[in-house]
Chain A
Amino acid sequence: MDRGNDAVKGLSLQQIKKVYQDNVVVESIDLELAEGQFLCLLGPSGSGKTTLLRMIAGLVQPDGGRMLLDGKDIVSVPANKRNFGMVFQQYALFPHMTVWDNVAYGLKARGEKPAVIKEKVEKYLKLVDLGHLAKRKPKALSGGQQQRVSLARALAVEPVLMLFDEPLSNLDARLKELMLKEIRELHRTLGFTAVFVTHDQNEALYLADKIAVLNKGHIEQFGSPEEIIIRPATPFVADFFGYTNRLEGAQLSETGRAQIGPVAVPVGHVASGGKPGDRGVVLMRPNAVQVAEDGVSGDTAEATVVDSRYYGGVTEYRLKLEGYPSDDISAVVPRLVQPLPAEGAKVRVRFIPDSIAFFQE
């Protein structure tokens, strides 16, 4: 057996791009996905993630680049011959067909024998726990049930690649959690290769083996969930994952701190290539800023309270740091601080380096 040819099992995107009327929607993207891996395309709307998915599906033609599946370029292969399965955001169930017929659709379209169809449809309906609803029409089902039918339909053709287009966006929080668990469980059981598009970082962190963070058509960072959340590569990625406080005009010092005016902030993560003396920007999560108890020393700073309120079981502050007058920063303290500090009150804050990152210019 020739070793050379089976070297690349999986999906490989090379310089894939898409332009709509002078607007570069997807900019020369390179991506590798091994067989059986679960990839999330994560980004805000307009980042090109859906266009990228649709190009993989064959619903949209790229304007350049190659798309290799197990070594073969599929760019010119029509969508209905790629043997993929797709779960859509709006479920896209055929309203005039029963659940059974919906799930059987792909198999029937490919001309499978009735016995095979029956076996597979029953298997996958059982997997998503909807065997008892086989005869119903989609409009008689709840949103969550419809989504599961959509899943079963895609899985039933036993595709080489499963595609998900923000399938959980229309579900409420509780259903979302259930579906997340179910999708992860199905992936562990069936081992399919998947590309999952979402704008929700939590979905990506939960499901993905690899995440590609997209911004305006290019990949900001590609890596495992751990890498991305602990070592964000760019300010965009950091901000997307909750590093919502942004301090401009910082300079990295020898001691692993960033100096912003009179304020010295300990930095837990320096973007690759950053060295002492570099100027840049500091991003930190709200929970990296804690209200210091009296008598604590170390990395602290003075601040004035702009606003404070309780939220769930935490106290949220908006503060103005002494010496950093331009923007407020937010702080989240994991308890209900009593009494709630009033506007204008002076507090001392302490910085937790784990969730503080420095990005050189």
Chain B
Amino acid sequence: MPRMKRFYSVLGWIAIAYMAALFLYPLLNVLTTSLKSGGSFSLEQYEKVFSSAVYMKVLGRTMGIAAVSTVISLVLGYALAWFIASRRPSSQGIWLMLIISPMFMSLTVRLYGWLIILSNDGPVAAVSRALRFSQEVSLLFSNFSVIVGIVHYVLPFVVLNIYTSLKKLNPSLLEASMMLGASSARTFWRVTFPLSLPGVFAGGSIAFALAANTFLVPLMLGGPKTNLLSNMAYDATITIGNFGLGSALSIVLLAIVVIVLVLMGVLERRGHHA
């Protein structure tokens, strides 16, 4: 039905036009703004970013925190996904919903919850005091609290991805492995885990992108010493009013996330050929 196809193409072009105007165009503007100084083309903003010790430190911290959070959430997420997948099929849906339900609740509210938990008047501090680790506990506004918040934020996405790929596993493969004499551990490492890798890569990619890009978590749970690149971009743009600098910082963040995602994609494809 060639005319139907054309009809759908026209509808698609309308959507493309909308997104081009309201997504591509602003993005291009950010790029050009970052490449301007005093009205003409210039790499000055990027020079400012890459020659600044502060910004480089922030960049390193962003990558580091994102990487650590990704790894932690992958490990915890895999455990949770495995747990759900090994429940009775009829109750798996409920468990899944329970574990990823935070995803549907306001992040600002959830982060407030963490402020309570990690505060000096909160339960963690109380336990710590009871165990006599120290009197004053300052868990908040630190790299630690930011990582906790990020892990909490990305965990549902990771669990979802890994669980989906675990569900797709053919149980006969596991049975075959067992029948051929492999132990549970061996079956897991040699059969289950490799086959679940697509979900792990997908979850890891999403986790890293969300972690590196996050703005609200460091804003609420972090302090001035834990600013991530996103916060610096906001400060440069809104607080200082330097659109060029803010744009450059946000483009650097975009570039890094894209590079890491592409690398992870390459890694996954190499893994397939191995």
A-B Cβ contacts below 8 A, count: 5
Residues of chain B contacted by A79 (CB below 8 angstroms): 1, 3
Query: Would you call B2 an interface residue if the criterion is a C-beta within 8 Å of the partner chain's C-beta atoms?
Result: yes
Shortest CB-to-CB span from A163 to chain B, Å, is 14
State in angstroms the CA–CA spacing of A59 and B2 once bound together: 7
Complex interface residues of chain A between 75 and 91 (CB less than 8 A to chain B): 78-79
Neighbouring A residues of B3 by C-beta, 8 Å: 78-79
Does chain B have a CB within 8 A of A201?
no
Q: Please, what's the 1-or-0 string for A75-118, where 1 marks a CB less than 8 Å from any CB in chain B?
A: 00011000000000000000000000000000000000000000
How does the 8 Å CB contact mask read for B141-170 relative to A, with 1 for contact and 0 for none?
A: 000000000000000000000000000000
A61 to B3, CA, bound (A): 11
Q: Interface code B88-108, partner A: CB below 8 Å = 1, 0 otherwise? A: 000000000000000000000
Kindly report which residue of chain A lies nearest to residue B3, judged by CB atoms.
A78
* Measured CA separation A61–B4 after assembly (Å): 13
Chain B residues, CB < 8 A from A78? 3
Provide the bound-state CA to CA distance between A245 and B2, in Å. 45
Chain A stretch 26-72: residues in CB contact (< 8 A) with chain B: 59, 61
**B6 shortest CB reach to chain A, Å:** 11
Residues on B with C-beta less than 8 A from A59 are 1
| Residue on B nearest A79 in the bound complex, by CB | B1
Q: Which residues of B contact A61 (CB under 8 A)?
A: 2
Q: With a CB–CB cut-off of 8 A, which chain A residues contact B2?
A: 61
Question: Which residues of A have CB within 8 Å of B1?
Answer: 59, 79
CB distance from B9 to the nearest CB of A (A): 16
Which residues 1-41 of B have a CB within 8 angstroms of A?
1-3
Q: What is the bound-complex CA distance between A78 and B7, given in angstroms?
A: 13
CB-CB nearest in chain B for A54: B1
Q: How far is the CB of A231 from chain B (nearest CB, A)?
A: 40
User: What residue of chain A has the Cβ atom nearest to residue B2's Cβ?
Assistant: A61
Give the CA-CA distance A354 to B25 in the complex, in Å.
79
When chains A and B are docked, how far (Å) is the Cα of A59 from the Cα of B1? 5
Measured in the bound complex, the distance between the Cα atoms of B3 and A59 in whole Å is: 9
A283 to B7, CA, bound (A): 52
Q: How far is the CA of A312 from the CA of B3 in the complex (A)?
A: 52
A61 to B1 Cα, complex, angstroms: 8
In the assembled complex, the CB of A109 is this many whole angstroms from the nearest CB of chain B, namely 14
* Chain A nearest CB, measured from B1 CB (Å): 5
Q: How far is the CA of A79 from the CA of B2 in the complex (A)?
A: 10
In the bound complex, CA of A61 to CA of B2 (Å): 8
Question: Whole-angstrom distance between the alpha carbons of A310 and B2 in the complex?
Answer: 54
B74 shortest CB reach to chain A, Å:
41
| Cβ of A81 to closest chain B Cβ, rounded Å | 10
How many whole Å from B219's CB to the nearest CB in chain A? Answer: 47
User: What's the least CB distance linking B10 to chain A, in Å?
Assistant: 16
A129 to B3, CA, bound (A): 35
CB distance from A63 to the nearest CB of B (A): 13
In the assembled complex, the CB of B8 is this many whole angstroms from the nearest CB of chain A, namely 15
Minimum CB–CB distance from B122 to chain A (whole Å) comes to: 53
C-alpha spacing A59/B5, complex, angstroms: 11
Question: In this complex, what residue of B is CB-closest to A58?
Answer: B1
CA distance A62 to B1 in the complex (A): 12
What separation, in Å, do the CA atoms of A59 and B4 have in the docked complex?
A: 10
Measured CA separation A78–B1 after assembly (Å):
9
Interface string of B53-71 (1 = CB under 8 A from A): 0000000000000000000
The smallest C-beta distance from A77 to any residue of chain B, in angstroms, reads: 11
Of all chain B residues, which has the CB nearest A78? B3
- In the complex, what residue of chain B is closest to A57 when comparing beta carbons? B1
Per-residue CB proximity of B226-267 to A under 8 Å, as 1/0? 000000000000000000000000000000000000000000
**A67 shortest CB reach to chain B, Å:** 15
Interface membership of chain A positions 284-322, coded 1 if the CB is closer than 8 angstroms to chain B and 0 otherwise: 000000000000000000000000000000000000000
A238 to B139, CA, bound (A): 86
Q: How far is the CB of A56 from chain B (nearest CB, A)?
A: 14
CA distance A280 to B3 in the complex (A): 50
Q: How far is the CB of B28 from chain A (nearest CB, A)?
A: 38
- Rounded to whole Å, the gap between the CB of A120 and the closest CB of chain B is 25
Closest to A61 in B: B2
A68 CB to closest chain B CB, in angstroms? Answer: 21
Which residues of A115-146 have CB atoms within 8 Å of chain B's CB atoms? none
Please measure, in the bound complex, the distance between the C-alpha atom of A292 and the C-alpha atom of B2, giving whole angstroms: 62
Q: B1 — nearest CB in chain A belongs to which residue?
A: A59
CB distance from A42 to the nearest CB of B (A): 26
Q: Within the assembled complex, what's the spacing in Å between the Cα atoms of A219 and B112?
A: 76
Expressed in whole angstroms, the minimum distance between the Cβ of A113 and any Cβ of chain B is 26
A78, B2: Cα distance in complex, Å: 9
Cα A312 to Cα B215 in complex, Å, equals: 77
B82 to chain A, nearest CB (A): 37
User: In the complex, what's the smallest C-beta–C-beta distance from A1 to chain B, in angstroms?
Assistant: 35
Q: In the complex, what's the smallest C-beta–C-beta distance from A18 to chain B, in angstroms?
A: 13
- What's the Cα separation between A12 and B229 when bound, in Å? 71
Complex alpha-carbon distance, A79 and B3, angstroms: 9
Instruction: With both chains docked as a complex, state the minimum distance between the C-beta of A192 and any C-beta of chain B, in angstroms.
Output: 23
A210 to B3, CA, bound (A): 33
4 tightest Cβ-Cβ pairs between the two chains A and B: A78-B3, A59-B1, A61-B2, A79-B1
5 chain-A/chain-B pairs, Cβ below 8 angstroms: A59-B1, A61-B2, A78-B3, A79-B1, A79-B3
